[in-house]
Amino acid sequence: MTMDHETPDTLLYTPEHEWLRRDEEHPDEAVIGITDFAQDQVGDVVYLDLPAPGDQVTAGERCGEIESAKTVSDFYSPVGGEVVAANGELEERPELVNESPYDEGWIIRVRIADEAELEGLLDAAGYRAQLPEN
Amino acid sequence: MLTQLVLRERHQALGARFAPFAGWEMPLQYEGIVGEHNAVREHAGVFDVSHLARAWVEGPEAAGLLRSVTTFDVTALPVGKAHYSLYCNEGGGIDDDIFIYHLPGERWLVIHNAANADADFERLRAVAGSAASEVTPETVMLAVQGPAAVGILSTVLGDGFAGLEQRDCAELDWGGTPVLVARTGYTGEDGGECIAGADRAGALWDAFVAAGAAPAGLGARDTLRLEAALPLHGNDIDATTHPYEAGLGFAVTLDDEAPFTGREALVEAKAQPRARRLAHLQAQERGVLRAGFAVHEPGGDEPVAHLTSGAFSPSLRLGIGMAYLPVRLAKPGVTLEVDVRGRALPVEVVRRPFYRKQRQA
């Protein structure tokens, strides 16, 4: 493989290839998705099974499934808290996860229960460092 | 140790992801399965299917020898025609599904699945001896499929291809090299398959790509064939399934009275009421069906079957799959449930195929 994967400097990451962005207007909320590397690995996303608003998610625990044409992958939330929203647009256009993993392809929005959990996440440099060499 | 395709470097340069399949390292996808699938449905794709095994049986005895080990009466197959057939075991189970081409000069080409290549060739050798020869390593096989495929094949190979009807086969001259072509495929679309010497493989591949065929991998080939309800040996048919319950009775000739391996069991199987039938299931809600998932009657505890194949259908944008259902359930309109990792996904039995190619304007 020879592709370069985007890893925006403004985001936080997990080793399991999720990203998290603090919401500017609602600082207690985090927008969460999967990274460019992750979408490339799983291939064409065709269906997502996501938690519903009001569900509680726990950091590092499986809270959904991302199904691609070739495989199914678990989805983990990088932080615990209450799900505020899931990206409804993905029901009709799951391919947004591939086409725009950091923007239109966001997956869930969570109200952060414990700020301290953010400290355990990777910054972009740390995430890039643990990506496999291309 | 995986066998490498002659065109491996070309696939690599096109960004292919490889996966092991039946002892071969095969391109699973290039840009993406869904895009490649749609390219074949909407225009044309080119597949490297050189993993399929190719064997010749030649000589005046060839037709009779083939008849003795295959289910379809090839002795009635005219020169220049190809037909789907089966190798069955004595119990009537399907050891492999194959394609047989009848070429001029008492020459027959047989296409085997890669996973069964050794056993299949042994079977031919056992009856035909040195009249059977394998040509898999020194040749390649490329499939061009899609509504634009016949145009592309005709552009590249010339009028010789343009004149072929469905399931015709012929040996053409392509710039001084022989290329064996057939208007056949495994996607539910029109198109053709070509066999050429390994030394001309790159040029032929490049010509198809230049003429507008999108490189397509094994991933798209699987979703395309499943939408077309074409069975995959090892998944949907195997040595324990017989042709009638698999819906493959058209590949079995019994009325010529000619003996062939499995005939007696098949005569009996045909006469008996079926216990089960390969049925086609379409999800009624979002979710993806996969091989191995259990099928239940609504609310039922015990599974009535397990999916033999399953995928997300890019054309229908929902889950589709196949399973051997008890005949009372194998009827279009019957609603069942598939256990998708603990979730009961409602599915409906539908008529095959899931997807029918669009009529040409």
CB–CB contact B287 A91 (8 Å): no
Per-residue pLDDT tens for B263-293? 999 999 999 999 999 999 999 998 899 999 9
Distance of alpha carbon A64 from alpha carbon B48, whole angstroms? 36
How close B170 gets to chain A, by Cα (Å)?
36
The pLDDT mean for chain B works out to 96
Pair B330, B222 in one domain: no
* Closest Cβ–Cβ partner in B33, B35, B319 for A70: B33
In this structure, are residues B296 and B344 in contact, taking their beta carbons and an 8 Å threshold? Answer: yes
Is residue B84 domain-resident? Answer: no
Is residue B263 domain-resident? Answer: no
Tell me what percent of the residues of chain B surpass a pLDDT of 90.
Answer: 96
The pLDDT mean for chain A works out to 92
- Domain end residue (candidates: B197, B227, B257): B227
State the CATH number of the domain containing residue B331. Answer: 2.40.30.110
B234 compared with B361, residue with greater pLDDT: B234
One-letter identity of residue B166: Q
pLDDT at B196: 98
Q: Which residues of A touch B314 (CB under 8 A)?
A: 46, 69
What is the token pair recorded at B310?
């399953």
Pair B36, B154 in one domain: yes
Which chain B residue lies closest to A98 (C-alpha atoms)?
Answer: B32
pLDDT-derived band at B359 (thresholds 50, 70, 90) equals low
Is residue B146 domain-resident? Answer: yes
pLDDT at A92: 87
pLDDT at B286: 86
**Residue tagged 């996501």 (tokens):** A50
pLDDT at A4: 81
Instruction: Please give the tally of structural domains in chain B.
Output: 2
CB–CB contact A43 B33 (8 Å): yes
**Interchain contact B20–A (C-beta under 8 A):** no
CB–CB contact B312 A95 (8 Å): no
User: Omega into B60 within 30° of 0, i.e. cis?
Assistant: no
* Closest Cβ–Cβ partner in A65, A69, A91 for B312: A69
**Interchain contact B291–A (C-beta under 8 A):** no
Pair B185, B288 in one domain: no
Closest CA to A82 of A101, A63, A104, A69: A63
pLDDT-derived band at A70 (thresholds 50, 70, 90) equals confident
Query: Judging by beta carbons within 10 Å of its beta carbon (0-12, 13-18, 19+), is residue B246 exposed, middle or buried?
Result: buried
Is residue B77 domain-resident? Answer: no
pLDDT at A1: 41
Per-residue pLDDT tens for B18-58? 999 999 999 999 999 999 999 999 999 999 999 999 999 99
* Closest Cβ–Cβ partner in A1, A2, A47 for B312: A47
CB–CB contact B32 A67 (8 Å): no
Residue A100 pLDDT more than 80? yes
Is residue B259 domain-resident? Answer: no
- Domains along the sequence of chain A with CATH: 12-115 (2.40.50.100)
Is residue B114 domain-resident? Answer: no
Residue B189 pLDDT more than 90? yes
pLDDT-derived band at A2 (thresholds 50, 70, 90) equals very low
Q: Which residues of B touch A95 (CB under 8 A)?
A: 34
CB–CB contact B29 A65 (8 Å): no
Is residue B95 domain-resident? Answer: no
State the CATH number of the domain containing residue B218. Answer: 3.30.1360.120
* Closest Cβ–Cβ partner in A2, A43, A72 for B32: A43
The model's pTM is 0.92
pLDDT at B338: 97
Q: How far apart are the first and last CA of chain A?
A: 6
Pair B208, B332 in one domain: no
pLDDT at A3: 58
* Residue B77 CA neighbour count, 13 Å, CB half: 32
- Which residues constitute the domain of residue B301? 273-361
What is the token pair recorded at B198?
């390994």
* Closest Cβ–Cβ partner in A1, A47, A72 for B286: A47
pLDDT at B137: 94
Burial letters for B76-102: b for 16+ Cβ neighbours within 10 Å, e otherwise?
ebeebbbbbbbbbeeebbbbbbbbbbb
Q: Are strands B214-215 and B45-48 parallel, antiparallel or unpaired?
A: parallel
- Domain end residue (candidates: B196, B227, B258): B227
Pair B14, B156 in one domain: yes
**Interchain contact B88–A (C-beta under 8 A):** no
Distance of alpha carbon B132 from alpha carbon B125, whole angstroms? 6
Pair B148, B38 in one domain: yes
Poorest-pLDDT segment among A1-15, A95-109, B142-156? A1-15
pLDDT at B22: 96
How close A114 gets to chain B, by Cα (Å)?
31
**Interchain contact B219–A (C-beta under 8 A):** yes
pLDDT-derived band at B88 (thresholds 50, 70, 90) equals very high
- What's the whole-number mean pLDDT along residues A1-12? 82
Distance of alpha carbon B153 from alpha carbon B162, whole angstroms? 8
Please count the helices (runs of H) and the strands (runs of E) in chain B: 9, 20
pLDDT-derived band at B107 (thresholds 50, 70, 90) equals very high
Is residue B197 domain-resident? Answer: yes
Residue A134 pLDDT more than 70? no
In this structure, are residues B8 and B202 in contact, taking their beta carbons and an 8 Å threshold? Answer: no
In this structure, are residues B46 and B194 in contact, taking their beta carbons and an 8 Å threshold? Answer: no
Distance of alpha carbon B95 from alpha carbon B237, whole angstroms? 9
pLDDT at B360: 55
